[in-house]
Structures are given as structure tokens and as C-alpha cells.
Structure 1
Amino acid sequence: MYLLGDGAPREVHRSDQHERIILAPMETLEAILTRRSIPKCAEDRIPDRATIQKLLEAAVRAPNHHLTEPWRFIVLSGDALKALGDAMADGNASQGKDPEAIRSKPLRAPIIITIVGHPKTHVARVSEIEEHHAAGAAMQNILLAAHDLGLAAMIRTGPAAEMPEVRDHLGIGSDEVISGFIYVGYPAEGTEDRPLTRRTPADDLTEWRGWD
């Protein structure tokens, strides 16, 4: 993908770290227009830590008002997924649902990235909704980076994000929210070319004002 559309590698300078990062060519629009959620992951391949780190580096580049960086991340794999399943089962204990089915939910991917939103509403001129928007942008960056790296990724959040049992297990503070669980792995065989879902054309949802 070419980030600037010209096909040439670029240098990104970090003034605070005095280092240069050479980025591979990127076609940003292609990634956006071809991204889709892939629910089924391969069982014989697991992304390594360095690969997941790339997703997180993409996440923290999301726009956020006054650079509040209203997020943190909890990356779960292995036994940590089973422990999350136990917490989810405990949270559903009074709902009459099959506890084993609930426990198995986090095992649908080898890795779960938990995006924890931390609205910095104490900062002047920063509204809570802007902070939630920023966390959402970070999640989209993760999804796009995963797509670019050939990974399967899907947001699966639901009621578990608000369960006290799950929040306590993950150490979510009273001023934090679970913005989302992103399930990550490599695509299971036959899912790499999963068709795109139908979307309402942008023209049907757009007003053009002041245009000739």
C-alpha cells in the first residue's frame, strides 16, 4: 500500500526519538476499500509479538484532540484467553446460558487485543465523546494494519465489555471503558477472499452544499 499514493518509500522522522522509520509502500485507499471482518482464524499459525506490535504502533497514530491519547491495550493469548472465558462465564452465570459455550468464545482467535478507552475529560476543551471517537479511530487503525499484514481481524465486543466480572478480571478502572475486543490471527483456509459486505453507496448518504 502507498500511503501517499506515489509508490515510493518514505522516511518518517520522530523528533522526540531522533530516529527515522522507513515505511514500505502503501496504498491506503486499497486497504480501506478491501478490508473486511474475518471471523475464522487458522489453528496452525499464530502472529508473533513483533507483528502484533506493528498493529499497536498503528493504533497510537490515531487522531486525538490535544494529544490526550485516551487508550491503552491489553493483548491476550494462550492461557489468558481461557481466563477471559472464565470471567465471561461468571458474568453470564445468572443468564441461564451454557457456560462452556461462553468460555469458548475468546478461543475463536489466537490473540485478542483489548482496547481500553480512558477519556481524559479533565483536560480543558476535551469532551468525552471526542475521546471515544479517538479510541474508535485507534481500533480502525488496528483493523487496517492487520489487513495490510495479511491477518484476520474482527471486532467482537458485546455485553462482556460491561460485565463487572470481566472488567475486574482485566483490571479496568472506574474511569475506563472497554472500547472493544479485536480478535486477531491468520485467516483460516478459504476465508482470505471472503466477499465484501454490501454497504449503502456514499452518494445515497451525502448532501453536497455550496457545490456547482
Structure 2
Amino acid sequence: MMELEQAIRERRSIGKVKPDAVERSVIEQLIEAATWAPNHYQTEPWKFIVMTGEGRRTLGRAYAAISDLGAADADDDERRQRLAREEAKALRAPVVIAAVYSPPAGSRAPQAEELAAVHAAVQNLLLSAHGHGLGAVWRSGDPMYHPRMKEAFGLEEQEELVGLIYIGYPDMEPLRSKRTDAKLKTVWLEE
């Protein structure tokens, strides 16, 4: 139990990673760990899209297309530079995994509970990455929720992206982190 609790306390978001490839078998293990997340209705409402190599350009092109929608007044040179910066975001790590909420047809499970299950799956994936000596960061932000992003990944109407997890071998020391004492965030109802 100590190893698990230590991993939970020591895992940190690692935004700077080396360009070295991560073995496919390791990525498969991370996804396997993700699929063991708690899921009240046992619907397994998740899907994972793994991007490596040139496959990351799907994400990069989506970032650029979304950025381009709001910048019609920029000159051509400015526009090219901005689009190149946006596309490069997808290349910050050798592996990017899009975690998708993908409810099964006919599911009566409340969406909030299904989304919570996918979020738990991402946490499992992050802990597994940490256990394999990998750095990972869970990214989101406005572009992730844009219809163009959903289109780029060929998602169905009912599906949603819940996170973009960038993974690689760490190229930075983890940042120190503190948490408020759990006692200050806990209410006991005993009588």
C-alpha cells in the first residue's frame, strides 16, 4: 500500500519531455491501467486515441485551424508564424493520447457519472506513466472543446474529448507541490 500512496503523492505533471520514442507495449500498458478505472454502471465509457510520429499532426492541424478562425486580420507572415506555433503544440511530446468520453448506445447512466469514470481512467493512466518512469501532463483548454477538434478525431455527436495527455521521458525535475491538510477538507458525520 505504501508504494501506491507514495506514487499518488509523488506523481506530478511533467510538461517538458525528451523526444525519445516510448515503446508501444508501454503505452498499451498505460491504456490497460486506464481501463480498470471505477465505473458505476460498468459501461466503460472511454476511448483512447494514441498519436505518435506524424500522427500527432492531426492534433496540430486542429490547433492551427481553431486558431485561424479568430485571426482574419493578421498579415500573411504573422498568420504563418502563428499557425506554425499552434501546430508545434502537438509535437511537445513523442506520445499524445486523447481521452474520449464515448458512451455506449442506449446507456441510461448519468453523464456526470460517466465523465467521472473517464476522468478516473485518465488518473490511472497518469499513475501508470509515473510508475513506468515517464513524464506526463493532462492538458485541456478551450481548443479541446471546439467542434473542429471533435471533427479532427472523427468523434460522434455524443462523444467528447476530456483530455490530451502528453507523454514522454522527463526532461525536467518535477515541481514541488503542497496540498492543504486533508483534515481541513474533511467533514465527519458520526452521530
- TM (norm. structure 2) is 0.89
CA distance in 2, matches of 1:105, 1:153: 15
- What per-residue deviation string (whole Å, max 9, x for no partner) do you get for residues 26-63 of structure 1? x11111011100000012x2211000001001000001
Query: Does 1:138 pair with 2:147?
Result: no
Look up the match of 1:154: 137
Distance in 2 between the 1:83 and 1:36 partners?
27
Structure possessing the higher relative contact order (Cα contacts under 8 Å, 6 or more residues apart): 2
After superposition, residues 165-176 of structure 1 pair within 5 angstroms as 165-176=148-159
Counterpart in 1 of 2:15?
39
Indicate which of 82, 86, 95 corresponds to 2:61: 86
Percent identity over paired residues: 37
* Mapped partners of 1:47, 1:88: distance in 2: 23
User: Mind listing any 5+ residue stretches in structure 1 that lack a counterpart?
Assistant: 6-26
**CA displacement, residues 90-123 of structure 1 (integer Å, 9 cap, x when unaligned):** 1111223721211111111010011110234833
Unpaired runs of 5+ residues, structure 2, are: 72-78
Q: Confirm whether residue 184 of structure 1 aligns to residue 167 of structure 2.
A: yes
The alignment status of 1:210 with 2:190, answered yes or no, reads yes
In the aligned structure 1, how far is the partner of 2:12 from the partner of 2:105? 33
Cα offset for 1:66? Answer: 2.2
Distance 1:42 1:54 in 2: 20
Note the C-alpha offset of 1:83: 2.7
Q: Secondary structure at the match of 2:112?
A: helix
Alignment partner, residue 74 of structure 2: none
Q: Say if 1:72 and 1:115, in contact at 8 Å, map to a contact too.
A: yes
Aligned to 1:66, the other structure's residue is in SS state coil
- 1:198 paired residue among 163, 178, 190: 178
Q: Deviations over 1:1-30 (max 9, x none)?
A: xxx55xxxxxxxxxxxxxxxxxxxxx1111
Cα RMSD for the two superposed structures = 1.7
